[in-house]
């Protein structure tokens, strides 16, 4: 019995190693994904852009600001001169946080009658990143308090950090994660449906019957794309209803802006899925190809880790990822109240990706025909 099992094992390994496609699947994707995930999947923050609004201009305030700007986690990119600039800096995503020191910060520290207040204004749209940045800021304040108290032989903390988060006041991770899940679920369902569409016809033997119909290759592809579009929009709609009415995520923006983004996003995913399906002979190949695209797409989308933290060459790869643009759209509509005009720079890349992928899918489809 063991000899027969051993012979079968040898046969399976030989089949895997002799088959060109199997060798490719075994060797190339793990190596590529190891490098991509190793560089892209990081929760560390470096050079977080901050703005400083210093109304005090005293020695103590300058020392605290130096602590922030000298820390590896922070980088001062803007010096604010008036209060109205705070909203502009956070709304435009120019900075992740604003350090505001009031007029009496140094006086309160020197007199010691009351804790000096340092206000930290956070961009709460990405609650995970905001929480990590807040932890770094609290560490800077703690070290400042320790050194200040030790030098002056005081026991009470001389400075107190007051935090205020914009767009997500309580820094609830659900507000950040659930809108992202809408994009993730829509990606998985639409990708699998379209990646299996042409491969299913080939595997079931009905592909030749489809070819003898009066339909042109472009019409066949269109017929395969429309069900995926309807299913993808329906999946996104269901997820949005759950986000709003079950998870109580505030939907502040325009539904028209959101659904325009959904349609373009599903359109681009369909293009990628049909490319995979045109190359696949069996449904198993289509399913495997779909997941080989889905996993890197999620990692490189900014869903879990900020794209700004990734190496520059990885950031360039994310430009070809439809999920990257859709996450900006759905989180912008949900949390920021953005409209169609605010999201034009996210719409057109989705349209270009979808159009290019559909053209490539049509070319691959015709190539496999003849």
pLDDT tens digits for range 55-98: 887 888 888 888 888 877 788 778 888 888 888 888 888 888 88
Domains of the chain: 48-166 (3.40.1710.10), 173-369 (no CATH)
What is the pTM (predicted TM-score) of this model? 0.71
CB 124 within 8 A of CB 166: yes
Q: What is the pLDDT of residue 260?
A: 95
Instruction: Tell whether the model's pLDDT for residue 22 goes beyond 70.
Output: no
Mean pLDDT in residue range 10-15: 58
Q: How far is C-alpha 345 from the geometric centre of its chain's CA atoms? A: 16
Query: Distance between CA atoms of 335 and 249, rounded to whole angstroms?
Result: 8
Instruction: Tell whether the model's pLDDT for residue 30 goes beyond 60.
Output: no
Closest Cα partner for 225 from 278, 183, 281?
278
Phi first, then psi, for residue 177 (nearest 5°) are -80, -45
Residues 128-185 have pLDDT tens digits of: 778 778 888 888 888 887 777 777 666 555 566 666 667 777 767 778 788 888 888 8
Residue of higher predicted confidence among 17 and 348 = 348
Q: What is the pLDDT of residue 169?
A: 72
Q: Work out whether the CA dihedral 279, 285, 288, 294 comes out positive or negative.
A: positive
Residues 187-246 have pLDDT tens digits of: 988 888 888 777 777 777 666 666 666 767 777 777 778 888 888 898 899 889 888 888
Percent of the chain with pLDDT over 70: 79
Q: Is 164 helix (H, G, I), strand (E, B) or coil?
A: strand
Structure tokens given for 319: 């430009």
Mean pLDDT in residue range 337-341: 87
Q: What is the pLDDT of residue 267?
A: 94
Query: Distance between CA atoms of 159 and 112, rounded to whole angstroms?
Result: 10
Q: Is 38 helix (H, G, I), strand (E, B) or coil?
A: helix
Closest Cα partner for 301 from 182, 149, 161?
182
């Amino acid at each position: 019995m063991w000899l027969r099992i051993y012979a079968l094992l040898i046969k399976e390994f030989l089949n895997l190693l002799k088959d060109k496609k199997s060798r490719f699947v075994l060797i190339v994707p793990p190596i590529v994904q190891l490098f991509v995930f190793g560089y892209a999947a990081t929760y560390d923050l470096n050079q977080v852009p901050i703005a400083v609004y210093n109304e005090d201009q005293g020695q103590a305030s300058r020392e605290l600001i130096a602590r922030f700007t000298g820390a590896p986690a922070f980088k001062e990119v803007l010096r604010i001169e008036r209060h109205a600039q705070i909203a502009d800096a956070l709304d435009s995503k120019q900075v992740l946080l604003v350090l505001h020191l009031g007029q009496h910060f140094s006086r309160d520290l020197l007199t010691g009658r009351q804790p000096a207040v340092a206000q930290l204004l956070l961009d709460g749209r990405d609650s995970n990143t905001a929480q990590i940045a807040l932890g770094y800021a609290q560490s800077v304040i703690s070290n400042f308090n320790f050194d200040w108290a030790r030098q002056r032989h005081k026991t009470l903390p001389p400075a107190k950090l007051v935090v205020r988060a914009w767009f997500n006041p309580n820094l609830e991770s659900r507000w950040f994660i659930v809108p992202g899940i809408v994009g993730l679920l829509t990606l998985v369902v639409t990708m699998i449906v379209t990646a299996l569409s042409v491969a299913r016809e080939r595997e079931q033997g009905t592909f030749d019957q489809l070819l003898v119909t009066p339909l042109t290759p472009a019409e066949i592809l269109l017929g395969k794309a429309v069900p995926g579009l309807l299913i993808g929009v329906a999946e996104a709609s269901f997820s949005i209803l759950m986000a709003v009415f079950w998870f109580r995520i505030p939907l502040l923006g325009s539904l028209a802006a959101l659904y325009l983004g959904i349609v373009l996003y599903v359109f681009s995913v369909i293009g990628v899925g049909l490319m995979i399906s045109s190359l696949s002979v069996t449904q198993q190949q289509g399913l495997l190809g779909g997941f080989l695209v889905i996993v890197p797409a999620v990692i490189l989308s900014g869903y879990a880790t900020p794209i700004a933290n990734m190496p520059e060459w990885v950031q360039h790869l994310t430009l070809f990822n439809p999920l990257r643009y859709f996450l900006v759209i759905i989180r912008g509509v949900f949390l920021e109240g953005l409209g169609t005009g605010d999201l034009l720079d996210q719409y057109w890349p989705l349209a270009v990706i979808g159009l290019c992928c559909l053209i490539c899918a049509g070319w691959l489809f015709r190539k496999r025909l003849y």
